Structure 1
């Protein structure tokens, strides 16, 4: 799960970075506010990569997805990108957990042999 979720989160870092650049040009929100919020979101994405297997980390990831969708208030394109990344996040969590179960089973079989 760690690899899939981390890949999605790193992709989000770039989306947030580019969205911040666009928001500076297309909205009347101050650059300081845009970079404060975007910087916090990017930092959260990177930090979440390191703790994704800990309890509550997936829930924080979901909150991050909701925040990305909510950023569509400033940039309507972010509604679509937010939904896409929420779908990627679901796939990363869902299939990542399945992969973890398969790996654990294979390790158990290898230890038994």
Structure 2
């Protein structure tokens, strides 16, 4: 489960970084603010991916999903991408638990 969730958070960090130029050019957001918010969210995703050996990191990952969805108020397409990554986050946890719970036959 940890590997699957870590990959998902890493991919989300890449998408979050790619949303920074979109926020600046399309949504006309302040470059400093967009860079800071996007950078912090991306780094947080990478840090959480590395800390998934702790149970609390999964809660932090869930909070991160909500924050990424909230960036949709600046870049509306992030509502869609945030929901997609939120669903992938839930699916990663669900599938990971099923795989860990399966006993070899």
TM-score, length-scaled by structure 1? 0.86
Distance 1:43 1:55 in 2: 19
Aligned length: 105
Q: Deviations over 1:60-105 (max 9, x none)?
A: 1111110111111011111111110000000001111221222xx4
Give the CA RMSD over aligned residues: 1.4
Q: Deviations over 1:30-60 (max 9, x none)?
A: 2111111111111111111111120211111
Q: For structure 1, which runs of at least 5 residues remain unmatched after alignment?
A: none
In the alignment, which residue of structure 2 is the partner of 1:89?
89
In the TM superposition, what is the alpha-carbon distance from 1:27 to its structure 2 partner?
2.8
Query: Rg: which structure is higher?
Result: 1
In the TM superposition, what is the alpha-carbon distance from 1:23 to its structure 2 partner?
0.4
Runs of 4+ in 1 over 3 A off after TM superposition: none
